Amino acid sequence: MVRYLDPETDFGIPARKKTASSLASRRQKNGQLPREQALEAAREQALRVLDRNACSSAQIQKKLSVAGFQPHICEEIVNHLLEVGLLNDREYAAMLVRTRFRERGLVGHALIQELNRKGIPPALHPQALAQIDATQQEERVKELAEKKARTLGNVTYPQAMRRLASFLARKGYSPAQCREATHQVLSAMEFDED
């Protein structure tokens, strides 16, 4: 059961802190619930998680497992959520790729690592990654290079090249893309002679 804060009666009362012993006892309790009660409790917990943010089916399965629910209960809840459309790994992967590209400028292997970290099956990676074309990547790598170059300060040209290229490589850009963007951006800058 979810307990909501009533501002009229609970004002100034600190929230109860979750201790390790209370979490352990809750996990143990969840593992010993009868099947119907376990299904209901797991469903409620999964819905609370999905209410806060989108997740992959692997993330929901892991959260339920960590909460102490039996593996067959976790699997049944995840399968039910997939059937009713509350979970969709294909749509989640597509959304994740779009937002990570737009917000952080990630491409290529950096996006694949992100998809793997979120538990997206490798079979769904190509379709999600296909949303970002070469033109978008070229524009974004140049934007990132220009933004990073402004923060370099007083450095020599080789130092600027190394820092900028490694920054772009960590974002997942190919060596050719890193080299091209770095040369374009640094050619307009002045450097120390050291």
- Check pLDDT > 90 for residue 171: yes
Cα 128 → chain centroid: 14
DSSP code for 132: S
Distance CA 181, CA 14 (A): 52
- Check pLDDT > 80 for residue 106: yes
Question: Regarding predicted confidence, which is higher, 4 or 149?
Answer: 149
Domain ranges of the chain: 20-84, 89-129, 134-186
Distance CA 46, CA 39 (A): 10
CA distances to 40, 125, 127 from 46, rounded to whole Å, are 10, 24, 27
* Contact assessment for residue 57 and residue 78, using Cβ atoms and an 8 Å cutoff: yes
Q: pTM score, two decimals?
A: 0.78
Lowest mean pLDDT among 6-15, 49-58, 180-189: 6-15
Q: Express each pLDDT in 77-98 by its tens digit.
A: 999 999 999 999 999 999 999 9
DSSP code for 86: S
